[in-house]
Every structure is written in C-alpha cells, then in structure tokens.
Amino acid sequence: MKKKIYVVKIGGNVINDSIKLHQFLRAFQALEGFKLLIHGGGAKATQWGDRLSLNAQMIEGRRVTDDQMIDVVTMVYAGLINKKIVAALQAENCDAMGLSGVDANLIFSKKRRFEGIDYGWVGDPLFVNVVRLSTFIDLGLVPILAPITHEGQGNLLNTNADTIANAVASAMVKKYEVHLIYAFEQRGVMKDVQNPDSLIKSINHSYYLELKANGFVSKGMIPKLDNAFQARANGVSKICIIKFDKINRLNQGYDHTSII
C-alpha cells in the first residue's frame, strides 16, 4: 500500500501578506504525514520589478521573462521568499528544506516555445527526480520548492508554480498516494468572486471549459485548473482548491472545490 503525500501549492498573493502567510504555514505544519510545498510569489516579483522599472507582462496568467526579469524572479522566488518560508516553518518545528528545481537536478525543463509568442526564459517541466525528492522526505525533511528550473545548458527558467505542482504530483504517483492541494485566497473556484455563496464545490473538465468560455474563470485561475485536470488524468488520487488557512481541515468537510 502506497504512503500518502500532500503536494501543496500556495499562491503569490498570500505570500505577499505576512499575516496570511503565517496562517497558511501554521495550517501546512499541521498536515500530518509526508508533505512538500511549492510556492509562487508573482505579486512580490512584480513589486521588485516595478522598483527596477521592469514592467510585468502576462499571457493567460503566465509571466513573460526576459534577461532582466529572470534575475529578478530567481532572487525573489529562490532567495527571499523561499528562505523566509523555510525560516518560518523551522520556527513551527517543521524541518523544512529550501530548494529549487535546479538543485540536485530536481526538475529538468525545456524552454517554452509557442508560435507567435516569445515567453523568454520560461520553462515547461520534462522530468521530476522522484528518487531525490523521496530521499529528502524519507530523511524527515519537508521540501519547499521555488519555481525556478533549468534546461541543462546553464540557463535558469521561470516555471509556473501551478505547473510544477502538477508535474511533481504526477511524477510522485509512482511511489505515493498523492493528494494535490492548490491553496489561495478564495474558498475554491468561485463563479462570481464578489459573491461568497458562488463556490463551485466540484468541477469536471467539460464544466471547466464551459466556465472558461463564458469568462467565469480567467487570468491566473486558467493555469491552475489546466494543471489540476492534467494531474487528475495522470493518476493523482485527490485534487482540491481551497482557502489557504484551511488546508488542514479538508477531512473535516471544510468547503473547497474538488477536481473530478
């Protein structure tokens, strides 16, 4: 019987709020059993880009990353944010280990190439080193992954954290019963973000396409749901989207969106 592992992804807007981040990390620490965390940090990367007069360019929720921006996102994601999260978890008696996809060749990617669109130094994962990750986990460490990967030629690649969560969760089904959690500010996928009663409690792929076509989901929610459905197709046991401070209350029936 496979051991259960939680693969948790936290969004950048929570990371940008110290109070919310603390609430999330307390909930993450309370998850029992094997777990790992993948974090974004787009809001803070945008802030630092603005300070350096680098305007953020986004295409369907994905950041265009030129030569200057790859330096910014690497410093912000793999440095500032990653180490602050690790330090905060250590304060909660969670033995966290800060990593990026570059470290120990954990995540090997290819540079994204789309006809007519130049994303710059943006990567799409090709390989996740499950053996290395599971070795860290077996040692009692909790990996904290920043969304920076590489392509084997010495170049860093900004890689969407939702995509990394999908890639890691999908790869780890070989060894674990994987529960993938996307955590962010809302209770789940909302049909109307202004209406707290519009939570969609379960969503299948055809319903998602309908919501997307009608504009009910857009921007950063698109890559989140695209990746959630890919992970489901790849054999991930359970996938949910839930409010950041409630991830340890799934078994108590707390409201969330299930991907079916």
Tokens standing for 243? 């409010």
The Cα–Cα gap between 160 and 243 comes to: 20
Reduce the DSSP state of residue 79 to 3 states and report it. Answer: helix
The Cα–Cα gap between 13 and 17 comes to: 7
Give the per-residue pLDDT at 60. 61
Give the per-residue pLDDT at 61. 60
| Cβ–Cβ < 8 Å for 179, 5 | yes
CATH classification of the domain holding 48: 3.40.1160.10
Give the per-residue pLDDT at 51. 81
Q: Report the amino acid identity of residue 157.
A: L
Reduce the DSSP state of residue 257 to 3 states and report it. Answer: strand
* Interval 94-129: pLDDT, tens: 999 999 999 999 999 999 888 778 889 999 999 999
| Cβ–Cβ < 8 Å for 147, 39 | yes
Low-confidence ranges of the chain (pLDDT < 70): 12, 60-62
Give the per-residue pLDDT at 41. 84
Using CA atoms, how far residue 92 sits from 15, 21, 36, 59, in Å, is: 17, 13, 15, 37
Give the per-residue pLDDT at 99. 98
Give the domain extent around 18.
3-259
* Helices and strands per DSSP (H, E), number in the chain: 9, 14
Give the per-residue pLDDT at 234. 96
The Cα–Cα gap between 13 and 59 comes to: 18
pTM attached to this predicted model = 0.92
Give the per-residue pLDDT at 249. 85
Give the per-residue pLDDT at 39. 96
Give the per-residue pLDDT at 215. 84
Number of domains in the chain: 1
